[in-house]
Amino acid sequence: MKFRIGITTGDVDGIGIEVTAKALLRVGPHKNYRYFIWTGTNPEIKQFKKISKKFKVHKVASLKEALEFNTNDPRVICQIASDSSPAFWVEQAARACVAGQISSMVTAPLSKQEIAAAGLSDIGHTDILKRISGQKHAFMGFIGRYFNVVLATGHIPISSISTALNLETLINAHNAARQLTGLLPKKQGLRPIGLLGLNPHSGDKGIIGSEEQTLFKKLLSQFKKIEGPLVPDVAFQKNYWNNYSCYLACYHDQGLIPFKAIHGHDSGVHLTLGLTLKRTSVDHGTAKDIFGKNKANPSSMIEAIKWAQVWAKT
């Protein structure tokens, strides 16, 4: 088997196990990929019965056992059934990625409460991945059907954004955006990156804030194939979508409100950029209110698995 894809199913009372099962049925067995799925010790039986329509589930108690199990049958999935916190599954998958034991990893929703209950100080998936990989900078990227977004800053207060947007951060964010565009189809990936302005009207030539005239100019002078700063409230209009390989947004909501408003639950996958490991994720939460009701939309997980497969080959 050429590539190993690790999938963590998130909170045991969330929709992670459901969307994983539904997604794998759509993606189907493939001769080039072997799937390793972390679950609780008693995942919802109905959901795993779905997987068995196309796959043979080999249940083990640890990743070590899964890696030692040799078979050429592409229908075999290794289920790592664990009674430890789902936060520790993410740690295990990340360490396996860093060690080259698996090629890429996919994460289902994991609540911040679950991470805290496990005794970890990490705020979310990204902090866990940075800690395991030993790297300082990680950026959130999102690939959608209509356009793509990379966030220069993540989960920080609005009051901290201007300070956080120094030249080093912008350069690293630009490099993360180039990493994302390198995964896209060639024609799309050759388009320039669209850098959004920080201030309304992109500062109106210094009348509303100075960042666009000072800091952003320094960034634009260093790189080709990046345009801006774009006026944020105009840049996401439909007629501009095909102008850019991705949008580089200054902060979380600037990029994700338009991305999620346009793509909804039908398209969109999250990539963690800037690290040595390769991780994709759904772009939605645990949805515990519909746990066990067979109502979860697997579209994002389908795309997350497919992009993890694409990324594994690079």
Q: Do 240 and 144 share a domain, yes or no?
A: yes
**Is there a single domain that holds both residue 230 and residue 176?**
yes
Give the span between the Cα atoms of 95 and 129, in whole angstroms. Answer: 9
- 145 and 254 together in one domain: yes
Q: What is the pLDDT of residue 248?
A: 98
Q: What's the confidence (pLDDT) of residue 44?
A: 63
The reply to whether 118 and 222 lie within a common domain is no
Specify if 268 maps to a domain.
no
**Residues 127, 30: one domain?**
yes
Is pLDDT at 265 greater than 80 in this prediction? Answer: no
pLDDT tens digits, one per residue of 154-180:
889 999 999 999 999 999 999 999 999
b/e map 164-200, b = 16+ CB within 10 Å: ebeeebbebbbebbbbbbebbeeeebebbbbbbbbbe
- The verdict on residue 113 lying in a domain is yes
Within a domain: 211: yes
Q: Tell me whether residue 75 is in a domain.
A: yes
Pairing of strands 269-273, 139-143: antiparallel
With respect to residue 210, please indicate whether it lies within any of the assigned structural domains.
Answer: yes
Indicate whether 200 belongs to any domain: yes
- Beta-bridged to residue 158, according to DSSP, are none
The reply to whether 130 and 150 lie within a common domain is: no
CA-CA-CA-CA dihedral for 119, 120, 123, 127, to nearest 10: -170
- Considering the domain boundaries, does residue 144 fall inside one? yes
- For residue 241, the domain's CATH number is 3.40.718.10
Average pLDDT score over residue span 246-270: 92
Determine the structural domain holding residue 131 and report its residue range: 3-135+275-312
> Tokens 């796959």 identify what position?
55
Q: How far is CA 226 from CA 43, 90, 193, 223, in A?
A: 46, 34, 4, 7
Residue 236 has pLDDT above 80, yes or no: yes
Are 177 and 200 in a shared domain?
A: yes
Q: Is the domain of 13 the same as that of 131?
A: yes
Task: Give a yes or no: residue 266 inside a domain.
Answer: no
Q: First and final CA of the chain: distance in angstroms?
A: 16
Check whether 302 has a pLDDT greater than 70.
Answer: yes
Joined tokens for residue 176: 């993360």
Q: Are residues 42 and 100 in the same domain?
A: yes
Q: CA-to-CA distance for 280 and 140, rounded, in angstroms?
A: 10
CA 262/CA 301 separation, integer angstroms: 18
Domain count of the chain? 2
